[in-house]
Amino acid sequence: MLDVSRDEITDGSLTRALLVLAAPLVMQNFVQVGQQVIDTFWVGRLGENAVAAVGLNFPLSAFLLAIFVGINAGTQVLVSQRVGADDLTGARRAAFHGIVLALGTGLALGVAVFALSPNVIALFGAEPAVARLAATYLATYALAFPVMGMSDAIEMGFIGWGDSRAALYINVTAVVVNIVLDPFLIFGYWIPGFDGLGIQGAALATGLGYGAGFLLALGMMLRGRDDYTLTRASATLRLDDARELVDVGLPRTGQHAAAQSVRVLIIGIAAAAGGSAALAAYTVGARIASVAFIPASGLAQAAQSVVGQNIGADNPMRASRTTWVGAAIAIVGLSLIGVVQWFVPELLANLFVPDLTPDGLALTVDYLRILVFGYWGIGAMSLFNAGFNGARKTRTSMVADLVKYWGVRLPIAAGGVLLVDGVGVHAVFWAVTVSNVAGAVGTGAYYYYTTNNGMLERAVEVASSPAD
């Protein structure tokens, strides 16, 4: 049922192709959310400082690992376009270059972070006890960077090929191994004479989980699935291929880093505007929104591959239709989720944080309802960006996100808090929603303009250039 052929992607029902490709990716993302919840459960038994230390590492790790976002995007786009052009050897070679680049980047980044973890954590000004635990977690986690990068590169190759089920298998393996190892490595449960490694054990369990996922990914690739495998012809390094992959993927790294950096600044503005209650409200709202966005995120990943394959197959009109159909599905889906959220904000807030203060709960309810007005925009913009990315226009999606975060969200949040009396942290809440709506409208309008002026036809010409 969750299977779609390459022929169906380029010459079948677009809605079915998108939904079938997206379904495993959505399940994968929900599995990862479950992993975070269970990790928090076990780390929480180490105490508040341990939870704070891991919490500090979340945005930091997301920022540090932005480089892999670029490698993954480049791998997925090149593989999908070459598969669409029926250049299977070139597609395999693109995947191989993604793996090699991920290995080299992961080694360099891992060694640097391992050596400098106390200095990196010190930049955040955390209390000494929290900083010490956070540095320990980060240094251990950094050891897994090479296998994390390579696993993700293989996974993106599968998705670009049109096999999102393989990505689900890889992630479920990593999560299951992580969950099983947590109690053993953190507390030493059921292991005589071993007291556990504490927070270092939590990081090690995550790293070993990624290692298991990588071994499965490598095994599936070496064995081959639907011709996606490594051959002698594809396992060769070429400077042009590496340059092409970096050229496509590098803007995605900048896009991810820009978004993460603004989120950190917004957290500071929210805390300054309303104290702990406002910060709690923003945090809870952000977590609920991230869960609500999971289906649209999977759909965008699927659309990126469908667009890429149709560009490679010289089907620019079908590539354009993929983007619009995906955007329509995302808009409807997230709007329905928003309707539910509008009517049960208290229930959702208490589900995530049962002991919110009255002020914190009131602000959270306000934020959850304000977010509803922009949910459709989150989904639409993610699909328009996928349309640009699948056509190798990753710089366009990078600029769109820069405008959304730095040009709209940050100025409204900071200006509203500083210049408008009585608005307070609500300026931050509305800044998020206004930026989501503005981003969707602006990106959609620009996508319509560029596709009517030959953007996708030019993308076909670039993709049709021989990879050999």
pLDDT tens digits, residue range 251-299?
988 888 888 788 878 877 887 888 878 877 887 788 788 888 888 888 9
pLDDT recorded at residue 447: 97
Mean pLDDT, the chain, as a whole number?
Answer: 87
**Burial class of residue 317 in the structure, from the number of CB atoms within 10 Å of its CB (0-12 exposed, 13-18 middle, 19+ buried):** exposed
Residue 41: its pLDDT value, please? Answer: 74
Least confident of 211-220, 256-265, 381-390, 411-420: 256-265
CA distances to 104, 139, 221, 360 from 387, in Å:
29, 37, 27, 39
Going from the C-alpha of 79 to that of each of 167, 254, 321, 392, 456, the distances in angstroms are 15, 21, 21, 12, 17
Residue 403: predicted pLDDT: 95
What's the average model confidence in pLDDT over 84-113?
92
Query: What DSSP state is assigned to residue 420?
Result: S
Q: pLDDT band at 154, cuts 50/70/90?
A: very high
CA distance 203 to 372: 35
SS3 content of the chain, % helix, strand, coil (to 5): 85, 0, 15
pLDDT of res. 195: 77
Q: What is the mean pLDDT of residues 35-42?
A: 74
Mean pLDDT over 110-135 rounds to 82
Strands (E), 52-154: none
Instruction: Tell which phi-psi region holds residue 224, choosing left (phi > 0), alpha (psi between -120 and 50) or beta.
Output: left
User: Token pair for residue 370?
Assistant: 């304000």
pLDDT of residue 466: 55
Percent of the chain surpassing pLDDT 90: 43
pLDDT band at 2 (very low <50, low <70, confident <90, very high): low
Q: Which run of H or E residues covers position 225?
A: none
pLDDT at 372 over 80: yes
